[in-house]
């Protein structure tokens, strides 16, 4: 990976999409397209972000199945953030299987968590709870752990398990504080006060800021 791609990825991980775009805005190679897509997602232009990620997935060569799968996962996350529940779930499962077969367990787990969030949003709680129970959040980054706990809280709220939901929200807040994302801490505090907040959607939204990690 060249120095500009590395610098752009670091800028995205630090929450600086404009800094990332300055480094790769004029490039159309596959890694640059992917990073530009994530930068646009961080800036809120989800339509353009999705188009860039699709171009990136097509641009990666036949031997770069993992890179293509990571783009699919990032696109699936953008679809979830924008509440596009018609996005093909099978495509995400295929990408997850590719990542797992290549021992990219972190991104495979993230893809699984996206599947769980989608199931919560469409009301398939039994399957969501089953799949969530198969995930171990301990290796996750703080932001991903916060998303995991918010998803667990969303299920608990719908199951009318107040204590379980409160405990999950408390763990989500601790993870957000560890990540040093004040806006996320504030949103979790609001969620704790208003159980009607769509927590699975919030869980999807917060992870976009870290999606560049899935492309590396």
Instruction: Tell me if 85 sits within 8 A of 122, measured CB to CB.
Output: yes
User: Quick one: 130 and 174 in the same domain?
Assistant: yes
Same domain, yes or no, for 74 and 126?
A: yes
| pLDDT given at position 80 | 87
- For residue 24, give the CATH number of its domain: 1.25.40
Residue 209: the pLDDT is 43
Name every residue whose Cβ is closer than 8 Å to that of residue 47 and which is 6 or more positions away in sequence.
Answer: none
Structure token pair of residue 182? 């004040």
**Host domain of residue 6:** 1-59
Q: Which residue has the tokens 């300055």?
A: 22
| 80 shares its domain with 44 | no
Alpha-carbon dihedral sign for residues 28, 34, 40, 45: positive
Domain boundary among 15, 41, 59: 59
Are 104 and 67 in a shared domain? yes
Report the C-alpha gap between 107 and 185 in whole angstroms. 24
* Structure confidence at residue 82 (pLDDT): 85
Is the distance from CB of 161 to CB of 143 less than 8 angstroms? no
End position of a domain, from candidates 43, 59, 75: 59
Question: Is residue 9 domain-shared with residue 82, that is, in the same domain?
Answer: no
Same domain, 30 and 119: no
Question: Which regions of the chain are under pLDDT 50?
Answer: 196-197, 206, 208-214, 216
17-38 in b/e burial notation, b at 16+ Cβ within 10 A? beebbebbeebeebbbbbbbbb
pLDDT of residue 210: 47
Q: Looking at the 3D structure of the chain, how many domains does it have? A: 2
Which tens digits make up the pLDDT trace of 162-172?
A: 899 889 999 99
| Domain identity same for 143 and 210 | yes
Please identify, among 42, 59, 76, the residue that sits at the C-terminal boundary of a domain.
59
φ, ψ of residue 140 in degrees (nearest 5) = -65, 155
Q: Based on the fold, state whether residues 131 and 111 are members of the same structural domain.
A: yes
Q: Is there a single domain that holds both residue 55 and residue 74? A: no
d(CA 211, CA 204): 11
Q: What pLDDT shows up at residue 7? A: 93
pTM of the model: 0.81
Is the domain of 48 the same as that of 142? no
| 84 shares a domain with 190 | yes
The structure tokens listed for 39 are 């930068």
User: Does residue 74 share a domain with residue 30?
Assistant: no
């Amino acid at each position: 990976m060249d120095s500009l791609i590395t610098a752009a990825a670091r800028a995205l991980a630090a929450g600086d999409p404009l800094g990332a775009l300055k480094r790769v805005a004029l490039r159309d190679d596959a890694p640059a397209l992917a990073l530009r897509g994530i930068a646009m997602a961080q800036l809120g232009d989800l339509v353009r972000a999705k188009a860039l990620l699709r171009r990136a997935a097509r641009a990666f060569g036949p031997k770069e199945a993992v890179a293509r799968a990571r783009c699919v996962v990032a696109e699936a996350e953008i679809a979830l953030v924008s509440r596009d529940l018609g996005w093909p779930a099978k495509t995400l499962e295929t990408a997850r299987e590719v990542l797992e077969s290549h021992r990219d367990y972190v991104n495979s787990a993230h893809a699984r968590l996206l599947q769980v969030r989608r199931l919560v949003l469409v009301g398939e709680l039994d399957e969501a709870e089953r799949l969530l129970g198969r995930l171990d959040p301990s290796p996750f980054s703080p932001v991903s752990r916060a998303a995991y706990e918010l998803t667990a809280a969303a299920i608990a709220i719908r199951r009318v398990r107040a204590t379980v939901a409160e405990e999950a929200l408390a763990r989500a807040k601790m993870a957000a504080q560890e990540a040093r994302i004040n806006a996320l801490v504030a949103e979790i505090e609001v969620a704790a006060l208003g159980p009607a907040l769509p927590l699975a959607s919030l869980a999807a939204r917060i992870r976009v800021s870290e999606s560049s990690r899935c492309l590396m």
